[in-house]
A and B are shown apart, each in its own frame.
Chain A
Amino acid sequence: MDFKQARWNEPLIFERSHRGKVGHLPPQPDPEEARIAGDPDSIIPKNMLREKNLSLPEVSEVEVVRHYTRLSQENYGVDLGIYPLGSCTMKYTPKVCEAVVASSKIQDLHPYEDESLTQGILEVLYKLERYLAEITGMDKFSLQSSAGAHGELVGALIMRAYHKSKGQLERRTEMIIPDSAHGTNPASATMAGFKVVIVPSDKEGCVDIEALKAAVGEQTAGLMLTNPNTIGVFEKNILEISRIIHSAGGLLYYDGANLNAILGKTRPGDMGFDIVHVNIHKTFATPHGGGGPGAGPIGVVEKLADFLPVPTLEFDGAQYRLNYNKPLSIGKVRGFYGNINVMLKAYAYILSMGAEGLEEVAELSVLNANYLARGILKAKGYDLPYSPEKPRKHEFVISASRLNKETGVRALNISKRLIDHGVHAPTMYFPLIVEEALMVEPTETESKEDLDNFINAMTRISEEAYENPKAVLEAPQNTTVARVDDVKASHPKSMCLAWRIKH
């Protein structure tokens, strides 16, 4: 496969600006409205009117369309090829999900409309909550949190509210987090006011049980864990972990970033977790939009349901309604009810897959990952640290440390060179417990041909590294731009974070 990304050398939209051009004509009021309303310029007092020119570009519609269409061509997405970022679950996002949200019945629906007018969307959201509860083994869900990390914050705030309700918040100040955890876990726990206690991984890459026992005590608020963990291994001691945390009076939080691997096979609720967030934009196939919007709904066991954000969604057998009457609730973490159109896409995806399909998602995501790992490891210089003999789940972490020592080529260089081959780079330098880490998650939606292409690319890069490292070190060449100077970008002397039109 040949990959050459578009190179338009497209200027900024500001640089296309020419005084007097317009890209869109807003509607004018009708003459009667204007007559009765009077001069709009006299409504806002003088001291509150804008004086300086507004430095927005002045461009025609066709120029706007070409500009942003060209920019889109300078961007790589799942619809162009494999995007194997580990822990990001960049699966194909079905087009039918985009079609169902392109309806005025949702796009033009105001969140404060009378409940009698919004029963349709409330029904979808309620059913989605029930499906998520079934998939995760939780009792009650809130769809409010807008991203995985936002869900983590809600979960940590729920722990806070729970311990407070028991009169134990004063002493339960610590959140335990494994050293292999996603960076959002410690950041979210800190935002919720907890001190982060790190527990190390054992030689198999799982939570070190002895270290966990030593870290746990009456100061423990809870543990945040993803399972399978970030090296792609299932925490087989999960019941023991659950027992240790619960017997100390703590709660168990499930980071749902890696849920894809276990759909229909096991459920966080059955493993003993009390709180779960689901990354809708990962597991449930909604597009990530270059950074968002995603969604991170929160599920909890019954004893924590009173602490969920308001409003929760209730159904009395006839009517769906929003319930704000929850005195123990943590309150709100954003306006309204969540990223609703993302939920609607996930609902369509779940219907498309069904129970049988979701279980097959887990099976094929794991099969694809293991097939890919096996193929890549045949090439020289790559290793699979931590129990290499064990099958991985949906993702695996390759260490390029040996290749680096023998050739000078780093995980970063491999990543850039992969892009030249039309394969998006894996997650680099994470988890932190692996040197020169490349964290790979192919997902279930990649074909064997695309996986083979990835294996071939990794093999060729290994050969290049040993024979002609220059090609690897100078990558990428086939992208819109060559290696970007990120040091200059963040340096106080050269940093440029906004463009201003000079008048």
Chain B
Amino acid sequence: MTKPHPYLPTGVEEIRREMMKEIGIDDIDELFKDIPSEVRLKRSLQIPGPSPELEVRQNVAKTLEKNTSSADIPVFLGAGVWPHYVPTVVEEIVRRAEFLTSYTPYQPEASQGMLQALFEYQSMICALTEMEFANCSLYDWASALGEAARMASRVTGRNEVIVPHYLHPERLATLRAYSEPAGIEIIEAQQDAETGQIIIEDLETKLSSRTAGVYIENPSYLGYVETEVEAIGDVAHRNGALFIVGVDPISLGIMKPPGEYGADIVVGEGQPLGNRMNFGGPLLGIFTCRGERLLRQMPGRIIGMTTTVDGSQRAYCMVLQTREQHIRREKATSNICSNEALCAVNAAVYLALLGPKGLNDLCKTILTKSQYAIKRLSEIKALRTPVFNAPHFKEFTVNFERSGKTVQEIHQHLLKRKIHGGKIVSHEFPELKETALYCVTEIHSRRDIDMLAESLAEILEG
């Protein structure tokens, strides 16, 4: 470069010369002459820059200005990534450079801070789910489900996993991609058209000595609570299958944790715990299990509490690494290496701030607001909400069939009024026809919800 770059301290000509002299070369290209000339790039890369910092910031800001975010207009989307308030302290802590710029804690003595924070995360996730063991993160809920299916198959030596009909299509697609190479077959359990609940008689007919696991979600993809969970777990266990439960961890501030209704593995999406939406990533895959037998098959990094060798101090380090790829290579429980550790720290700080009372209060606010939205929307005769006769947590289905308009048309009408409606699910489940999945959390003001109700009334009845 003509000018030294701020990130490249040895790029200064004099320093570079001195270093080249030390290793006995005259030209930097001598270090690259072992690359066969047939594969050498004989031109410059066609990419823009270098740009000074000011221009980089202006360039990116100008491009991002084209986005309209949920801070600009009310957005009623959830479906796997949810808008929740992130307390100021959370982002202050995870910006700390010592956390942000560290690697996986391979040298525990120099990494106690990250290790302890991750140990606390594991402990809090175990408390939330009432499970025995948690790893310190997978990529997201969908990939955690894929890992859970593979783990259930390894543990049971069986190769079928039963999943609910109303499953997020992205989680299903991910589950299939993870399962197919392992020879695991995905079987769909029916859910009641009226209540959305798993039909236990149907589940029983699908269970067999081939079933490795039965998977349910609570709350379900479409927002309602699955209530016959103990019976589902019992049926699974009677058939020697593992009971796997997927959760939105926020809901566990008020809802019964899966560990209390027999879950063997719990997966979920940790994004709502102090992580912004960021257009869908990074996310935080929650993964917990119970029992030593399952622990040995659990994917991902696990942090343990121990002492120094002389026994004088408490200390933390990564444990059970013989499950992992860098030791076991092709025999590892998973290939995962980099995970979402910093997002797990967000979650730990978030849960420490809210505590049991704060999380319970938050759940009540969410329940109240979503219930308020359901009641306000229900006043509109041309729509039906919720589609399922069941309790709902923060998401609910709205069906527009009666209005004579398509859900896509209604979505466009709302956009014109600077409101973003729920996620259209008609193409995912054709039997639901003109239906969208709406999400209401603590970030939606009463005014947002009233505006939605008034706009829908005008659009549908106007």
What would 8 more interface pairs be, CB under 8 Å, given A47-B227, A52-B130, A100-B56? Answer: A24-B353, A36-B371, A44-B255, A45-B227, A79-B98, A104-B69, A147-B336, A419-B109
**Would you call A301 an interface residue if the criterion is a C-beta within 8 Å of the partner chain's C-beta atoms?**
no
**Would you call A433 an interface residue if the criterion is a C-beta within 8 Å of the partner chain's C-beta atoms?**
no
Q: What are the interface flags for A377-421 relative to B under an 8 Å C-beta threshold, 1 for contact and 0 otherwise?
A: 000000000000011010000000000000000000001100100
Separation of A116 and B111 alpha carbons in the complex (Å): 44
List residues of chain A with CB within 8 A of the CB of B28.
363, 366-367
Q: Name the CB-closest residue of B to A63.
A: B352
Q: What are the interface flags for B233-266 relative to A under an 8 Å C-beta threshold, 1 for contact and 0 otherwise?
A: 0000000000000000000111111001000000
List residues of chain A with CB within 8 A of the CB of B329.
183, 186-187, 196
Is the CB–CB distance between B319 and A497 below 8 Å? yes
25 contacts between A and B (CB under 8 A): A12-B116, A29-B372, A29-B446, A44-B225, A48-B256, A53-B356, A56-B124, A56-B127, A56-B128, A76-B111, A96-B56, A100-B60, A111-B81, A146-B281, A184-B335, A239-B39, A291-B136, A292-B341, A334-B281, A337-B281, A354-B48, A356-B50, A357-B49, A446-B9, A497-B303
**Would you call A323 an interface residue if the criterion is a C-beta within 8 Å of the partner chain's C-beta atoms?**
no
Separation of A351 and B305 alpha carbons in the complex (Å): 43
**Would you call A208 an interface residue if the criterion is a C-beta within 8 Å of the partner chain's C-beta atoms?**
no
Is the CB–CB distance between A117 and B68 below 8 Å? yes
Pick from B10, B181, B336 the residue with the most CB of A within 10 Å. Answer: B10
Q: Which of the residues A267, A291, A352, A445 comes within 8 Å of B301, measured between beta carbons?
A: A291
Is the CB–CB distance between B7 and A92 below 8 Å? yes
Given A26-B354, A107-B276, A117-B68, A479-B360 contact (CB < 8 Å): no
Is the CB–CB distance between B309 and A114 below 8 Å? no
**Would you call A466 an interface residue if the criterion is a C-beta within 8 Å of the partner chain's C-beta atoms?**
no
Separation of A370 and B22 alpha carbons in the complex (Å): 10
- Give chain B nearest CB distance to A153 CB in angstroms: 6
Given A290-B105, A336-B80, A498-B56 contact (CB < 8 Å): no
Is the CB–CB distance between A109 and B69 below 8 Å? yes
Given A56-B359, A391-B31, A495-B278 contact (CB < 8 Å): no
Q: Which of the residues B139, B310, B449 comes within 8 Å of A146, measured between beta carbons?
A: B139
Is the CB–CB distance between A75 and B315 below 8 Å? no
Q: Which of the residues A111, A234, A267 comes within 8 Å of B41, measured between beta carbons?
A: A267
Q: What are the interface flags for B94-121 relative to A under an 8 Å C-beta threshold, 1 for contact and 0 otherwise?
A: 1111111111111111111110111110
Q: Which of the residues A45, A134, A368, A488 comes within 8 Å of B10, measured between beta carbons?
A: A368
Which of A211-219, A246-254, A424-432 lies on the face that meets chain B?
A424-432
**Would you call A325 an interface residue if the criterion is a C-beta within 8 Å of the partner chain's C-beta atoms?**
no
Which of B85-93, B157-165, B203-211, B399-407 lies on the face that meets chain A?
B85-93
Given A110-B83, A239-B39, A489-B114 contact (CB < 8 Å): no
**Would you call A190 an interface residue if the criterion is a C-beta within 8 Å of the partner chain's C-beta atoms?**
yes
- Give chain B nearest CB distance to A336 CB in angstroms: 3
List residues of chain B with CB within 8 A of the CB of A300.
none
Is the CB–CB distance between A340 and B280 below 8 Å? yes
List residues of chain A with CB within 8 A of the CB of B349.
64, 68
Q: Which of the residues B139, B343, B420 comes within 8 Å of A334, measured between beta carbons?
A: B139
Interface size class of A (residues with CB under 8 A): 35 or more
List residues of chain A with CB within 8 A of the CB of B5.
353, 357, 360
Is the CB–CB distance between B103 and A44 below 8 Å? no
Is the CB–CB distance between B303 and A65 below 8 Å? no
Closest 8 A/B residue pairs (Cβ): A354-B49, A336-B280, A291-B341, A289-B342, A193-B181, A111-B280, A75-B113, A120-B66
List residues of chain A with CB within 8 A of the CB of B69.
104-110, 113, 117
List residues of chain B with CB within 8 A of the CB of A367.
10, 16, 19-20, 23, 28, 31
Is the CB–CB distance between B83 and A108 below 8 Å? yes
Is the CB–CB distance between A93 and B101 below 8 Å? yes
Is the CB–CB distance between A290 and B375 below 8 Å? no
Is the CB–CB distance between A332 and B177 below 8 Å? yes
List residues of chain B with CB within 8 A of the CB of A471.
none
Q: Name the CB-closest residue of A to B327.
A: A183
List residues of chain B with CB within 8 A of the CB of A291.
103-105, 114, 118, 136-137, 301, 338-342
**Would you call A90 an interface residue if the criterion is a C-beta within 8 Å of the partner chain's C-beta atoms?**
yes
**Would you call A172 an interface residue if the criterion is a C-beta within 8 Å of the partner chain's C-beta atoms?**
no
Is the CB–CB distance between B31 and A370 below 8 Å? yes
- Give chain A nearest CB distance to B267 CB in angstroms: 12
Query: In the complex, which residues 1-40 of chain A have their Cβ closer than 8 Å to any Cβ of chain B?
Result: 5, 9-10, 12-14, 17, 21-30, 32-34, 36-38, 40
List residues of chain B with CB within 8 A of the CB of A72.
93, 96, 98-99, 113
Is the CB–CB distance between A490 and B320 below 8 Å? yes
Pick from A5, A56, A96, A262 the residue with the most CB of B within 10 Å. Answer: A56
Separation of A264 and B303 alpha carbons in the complex (Å): 40
Is the CB–CB distance between B362 and A351 below 8 Å? no
Q: What are the interface flags for B32-46 relative to A under an 8 Å C-beta threshold, 1 for contact and 0 otherwise?
A: 101110111100111
Given A12-B120, A40-B371, A267-B41, A26-B85 contact (CB < 8 Å): yes
Given A188-B335, A484-B108, A342-B282 contact (CB < 8 Å): yes
Is the CB–CB distance between B354 and A23 below 8 Å? yes
Q: Name the CB-closest residue of B to A70.
A: B113
**Would you call B409 an interface residue if the criterion is a C-beta within 8 Å of the partner chain's C-beta atoms?**
no
List residues of chain A with CB within 8 A of the CB of B93.
65, 68-69, 72
**Would you call B389 an interface residue if the criterion is a C-beta within 8 Å of the partner chain's C-beta atoms?**
no
List residues of chain B with CB within 8 A of the CB of A13.
120, 348, 352
Given A341-B281, A416-B109, A78-B368 contact (CB < 8 Å): no
Q: Which of the residues B9, B40, B230, B355 comes within 8 Å of A57, measured between beta carbons?
A: B355
Is the CB–CB distance between A109 and B177 below 8 Å? no
Q: Name the CB-closest residue of A to B415.
A: A114
Is the CB–CB distance between A496 and B100 below 8 Å? no
Q: Which of the residues B99, B327, B337 comes within 8 Å of A77, measured between beta carbons?
A: B99
Is the CB–CB distance between A500 and B123 below 8 Å? yes
**Would you call A468 an interface residue if the criterion is a C-beta within 8 Å of the partner chain's C-beta atoms?**
no
Is the CB–CB distance between A26 and B109 below 8 Å? no
Separation of A364 and B336 alpha carbons in the complex (Å): 31
Q: What are the interface flags for B135-153 relative to A under an 8 Å C-beta threshold, 1 for contact and 0 otherwise?
A: 0110111110010001000
- Give chain A nearest CB distance to B248 CB in angstroms: 13
Separation of A287 and B104 alpha carbons in the complex (Å): 11
Is the CB–CB distance between B99 and A75 below 8 Å? yes
- Give chain A nearest CB distance to B112 CB in angstroms: 4
Q: Which of the residues B47, B339, B356 comes within 8 Å of A54, measured between beta carbons?
A: B356
- Give chain A nearest CB distance to B178 CB in angstroms: 7
Q: Name the CB-closest residue of B to A152.
A: B335
Separation of A391 and B372 alpha carbons in the complex (Å): 69
Q: Which of the residues A67, A359, A371 comes within 8 Å of B44, measured between beta carbons?
A: A359
**Would you call B297 an interface residue if the criterion is a C-beta within 8 Å of the partner chain's C-beta atoms?**
no
Separation of A267 and B260 alpha carbons in the complex (Å): 54
**Would you call B126 an interface residue if the criterion is a C-beta within 8 Å of the partner chain's C-beta atoms?**
yes
- Give chain A nearest CB distance to B365 CB in angstroms: 5
**Would you call B200 an interface residue if the criterion is a C-beta within 8 Å of the partner chain's C-beta atoms?**
no
Is the CB–CB distance between A71 and B117 below 8 Å? yes
Is the CB–CB distance between B40 and A121 below 8 Å? no
Is the CB–CB distance between B446 and A10 below 8 Å? no
Given A351-B59, A490-B304, A289-B102 contact (CB < 8 Å): yes
Is the CB–CB distance between B45 and A498 below 8 Å? no
**Would you call B387 an interface residue if the criterion is a C-beta within 8 Å of the partner chain's C-beta atoms?**
no
Is the CB–CB distance between B279 and A121 below 8 Å? yes
**Would you call A361 an interface residue if the criterion is a C-beta within 8 Å of the partner chain's C-beta atoms?**
yes
Is the CB–CB distance between B7 and A445 below 8 Å? yes
Is the CB–CB distance between A27 and B365 below 8 Å? yes
Query: In the complex, which residues 420-451 of chain B have their Cβ closer than 8 Å to any Cβ of chain A?
Result: 420, 423, 442, 446, 449
**Would you call B171 an interface residue if the criterion is a C-beta within 8 Å of the partner chain's C-beta atoms?**
yes
Q: Which of the residues B79, B89, B362 comes within 8 Å of A65, measured between beta carbons?
A: B89
**Would you call B229 an interface residue if the criterion is a C-beta within 8 Å of the partner chain's C-beta atoms?**
yes
**Would you call B122 an interface residue if the criterion is a C-beta within 8 Å of the partner chain's C-beta atoms?**
yes
Given A14-B120, A106-B279, A289-B341, A75-B140 contact (CB < 8 Å): no
Given A83-B103, A187-B329, A236-B34, A490-B319 contact (CB < 8 Å): yes
Query: In the complex, which residues 254-295 of chain B have their Cβ closer than 8 Å to any Cβ of chain A?
Result: 254-257, 260, 269, 276-283, 292, 295
**Would you call A350 an interface residue if the criterion is a C-beta within 8 Å of the partner chain's C-beta atoms?**
yes
